[in-house]
Structure 1
Amino acid sequence: MAKSSRKSSPAAAEAASAPVKTDVLIAGAGYVGMTTAVAIKTGAPQLDVTIIDAALAGQWKKDPRASAIAAAATRMLEQLGCWQAIKPDAQPINDMVITDSRVSDPVRPVFLTFAGEVNPGEPFAHMVENKVLNASLHAKATELGINVIEGCGVDGFTTESNAVTVTLADGRILETRLLVGADGVRSRMRDQAGIKTVHWSYGQSGIVCNVSHERPHEGRAIEHFLPAGPFAILPLKGNRSSLVWAERTEDANRLVAQDDFVFEAELEQRFGHHLGEIRVEGNKRAFPLGLTLAREFVKPRFALVGDAAHGIHPIAGQGLNLGFRDAATLAQVIVDTERLGLDIGSFAALEKYQTWRRFDTVQMGVSTDVLTRLFSNDNLALRTVRDIGLGLVDRLPVMKNYFIKQAAGFGKENPRLLQGEAI
């Protein structure tokens, strides 16, 4: 029996190569990108939301780091139905202690302490391992029907009056009403959109790792201000802590290249003996520290969120929470615009997001920059001034309460999700 052959019609070929359409396309499946997607889909289930990420599927499961989640972000994650899965592994920060000294000083005087609750039973922050946070967000994205494409980044995009055509690295083409760049501080999406940045380096790198220790931490976070940069001990579940250790870049690179024995000896000088013997868990890594602020957060049918819009020093532990505020704000703008029957990708809609977020972002960038320059040195005059300032704050309950609420992420114009309300 002879085989028959049939040529595809021009119409069939055109249909096969037609772009896949989606309402919102987010480039970057990190915490902020995933949260943005989940928030939009939760508020407007009728919108088709797609996430693209260049990292291989499941790569996030290998992330050994941990993050401080402020109380406002906790309220948002709870409202989105993610916190329930995170809470059993989240460690409340019950209080925080701040010291200022040299590494060689035999005693580290405490200049400032914070109680850990903004409301009864509500800590101002929790420590959460990144893989736990990501697992919850991925599970919720799947539950909501969000399309996640991993292992394939964006090759380029072109913007027309009513849509953005996005070409993936594997040749696939998608068409979207709104494209969101959530691909980190070295954002290719930001560059492709032609958005310039203000950037400078602090000459520091942040060493990040987790440690186990003999004694319980009781939920206490400690930040030592040392001449080379801040050294933060952040409590995790069990007798474990996460470290954020800022050092001069050349010293940081040297330290992470050492074996565990040498590294732990250097670590012990800064960590101290209050929690007994310490051991490094897993890999240790160093990340360059600097300030990066995008000059614009939006273009027609394009918006930046998270580190793609702003990268700040971890001295105040607010980098991720700043990104969560972006996610909550952009989601509210998109959902409100969609409910009015207007174009979610219009510049008029996106300008609302930019106006809402710009001041807060610049304010936080300037604040962390000033703190970094004030505390990352061994100048005697500056040390005297800052220690007097810390001592004054410690004696003024009104100022302490103000700083606690700021650390908890409670602002005057917070979007609804950060207030624990549905969009």
Structure 2
Amino acid sequence: MGAATGSATPRIVIAGGGLAGLSLALALKRALADGIDVTMCDPALKRDPHGDKRSYAIAAAARRMLTALGVWDRVAERAQPILDMVITDSRLQDPVRPTFLTFAGEVDGNEPFAHMVTAGDLTAVLLEACRTAGVDLRPEGVKGFSIQGSRTDVTLTDGAVLPAALLVAADGGRSRLREQAGIGWISWPYRQSGIVATIAHERDHEGRAVEHFLPSGPFAILPLKAVLQADGTLQHRCSIVWTERAENVPTLLESHPEDLLVELERRFGLQLGKLAFETKPQAFPLSFGVARSFVAERLALLGDAAHVIHPIAGQGLNLGLHDAAALAEIITDVMRLGLDPGAADVLDGYERARRTDITAMGVVTDGLNRLFSNDVLPVRLIRDLGLGLVDRMPGLKRFFIREAAGLTRQEAPRLLRGETL
């Protein structure tokens, strides 16, 4: 582990302004202040973050991290706690959907295991916190990089060249920087697409999340914070993640809005009253992907650039936030010792810290999707028996809810335990 070179303040360049990248930038500046320069590069920084209407489940461990970073209080007023969860398994045409498994939504006292937050709200809060903390926010992309001994020269799309101790590639599942570094990518498609939208409904969801396992894939109903309207009434809302066979999606999205609403009601049910699309449904192809290495010379992969998993467990963003917590802790610890944050052994520590967790979550989500996205009768009988057994075992249910909350890892980074760096 080499010493930091020269007297200049070490710079970390983060390519990609998503939630994982923003969290890493903020964590580093909060921990090291003027002892580090953090530059974030992304053309999307020009856009209004509130335009992103996607919603995410923030697990308890990730919420503790956001609390430690000093931003959760500003997010909490717009966040909806998940108070309980119901899981069903049926065919689409079945008149009754029996409940096979229920989870109470609390861990460690009265702490919800997850909150639902819109991406725009969380991004806006993190951007403002980064700006206040002194992160250099540049609305340009990263064109490439070249290793120059003990630094990497990062070239931006406007022609500027930034010398850095470390480049963090947080540029998504199709990462150009990962490709440029020669890091292999193991992947396969699921032949499914995820349709996402915000749904308005008449009755209060009471903080309940529902996941219907259907032969084409899971249909998740995730509670969102109600919005006060101009007339003083509350508009109740949910986010849906509608997994559908890829070949059916174009026909669905191109159908008349009333026909699409009928298809929604078949899956959603009428327990919350009349439904309406608050946002236009969007579809995203689903796949599994993981990088053969999370690091290269003076380069670290973060979030979707390192791993893409099926949304069946709602853990994609949380894995990215875990990446940010682990990398921030490693960089902070070595820089406080006056060492080089981009040294090979430092990056190897990040690889070791994240590989097992990501591999395990990838295997679990892939297996769950294959188990539940089919209509083979013997498989249905076995999985429903398994769900019923888990529902009758309180200890096992507590373990699963703590796992979903991200609280079962004994060696979790300090930020995920709610501790400052």
Short-chain TM bin = over 0.9
Partner in structure 2 of residue 50 of structure 1: 39
**Deviation for aligned residue 1:111:** 0.3
TM alignment of 1:16-55, pairs within 5 A = 23-45=11-33, 46-55=35-44
Question: In 1, Cα distance between the equivalents of 2:123 and 2:346?
Answer: 29
Partner in structure 2 of residue 366 of structure 1: 363
**Deviation for aligned residue 1:66:** 0.5
RMSD of equivalent CA atoms: 1.1
CA contact (8 A) 2:222 2:240 kept: yes
CA contact (8 A) 1:21 1:174 kept: no
**Deviation for aligned residue 1:254:** 2.1
After the TM superposition, which of the residue ranges 51-60 and 304-313 deviates more from structure 2? 51-60
CA deviations 1:240-299 (Å, max 9, x no partner) are 000001001121222222332121111000000000000001221100101000000011
Partner in structure 2 of residue 138 of structure 1: 127
Please give the secondary structure, in 2, of the residue aligned with 1:170: coil
CA contact (8 A) 1:221 1:233 kept: yes
Partner in structure 2 of residue 217 of structure 1: 205
**Deviation for aligned residue 1:421:** 0.4
Partner in structure 2 of residue 381 of structure 1: 378
Please give the secondary structure, in 2, of the residue aligned with 1:89: coil
The residue type paired with residue 130 of structure 1 is A
Residue 306 (structure 1) aligned with residue 303 (structure 2):
yes
Q: Which runs of 5+ in 1 are unaligned?
A: 1-19
- Residue in structure 2 matching 1:107, options 72, 96, 103: 96
**Deviation for aligned residue 1:59:** 4.4
**Deviation for aligned residue 1:189:** 1.3
The residue type paired with residue 34 of structure 1 is L
TM alignment of 1:6-405, pairs within 5 A = 23-45=11-33, 46-55=35-44, 57-150=46-139, 152-238=140-226, 239-405=236-402
Please give the secondary structure, in 1, of the residue aligned with 2:281: strand
Question: In 2, Cα distance between the equivalents of 1:67 and 1:253?
Answer: 24
**Deviation for aligned residue 1:54:** 2.8
**Deviation for aligned residue 1:22:** 5.9
CA deviations 1:200-232 (Å, max 9, x no partner) are 001000001000000000000000000000000
CA contact (8 A) 1:21 1:175 kept: no
**Deviation for aligned residue 1:164:** 0.7
Please give the secondary structure, in 2, of the residue aligned with 1:265: helix
Partner in structure 2 of residue 12 of structure 1: none
CA contact (8 A) 1:221 1:232 kept: yes
Partner in structure 2 of residue 7 of structure 1: none
**Deviation for aligned residue 1:120:** 1.8
CA contact (8 A) 1:21 1:176 kept: no
The residue type paired with residue 124 of structure 1 is F
Question: In 2, Cα distance between the equivalents of 1:255 and 1:53?
Answer: 33
Question: In 2, Cα distance between the equivalents of 1:309 and 1:183?
Answer: 10
The residue type paired with residue 95 of structure 2 is P
The residue type paired with residue 412 of structure 1 is Q
**Aligned residues between the structures:** 403
The residue type paired with residue 291 of structure 1 is F
**Deviation for aligned residue 1:301:** 0.9
CA contact (8 A) 1:124 1:404 kept: yes
CA contact (8 A) 2:211 2:219 kept: yes
Please give the secondary structure, in 1, of the residue aligned with 2:396: helix
Question: In 2, Cα distance between the equivalents of 1:188 and 1:284?
Answer: 28
Q: Which runs of 5+ in 2 are unaligned?
A: 1-7, 227-235
Q: TM-score, normalised by structure 2?
A: 0.94
CA contact (8 A) 1:22 1:175 kept: no
Partner in structure 2 of residue 417 of structure 1: 415
CA deviations 1:322-364 (Å, max 9, x no partner) are 1110000000000001011110000111110100100100010
Question: In 2, Cα distance between the equivalents of 1:353 and 1:84?
Answer: 29
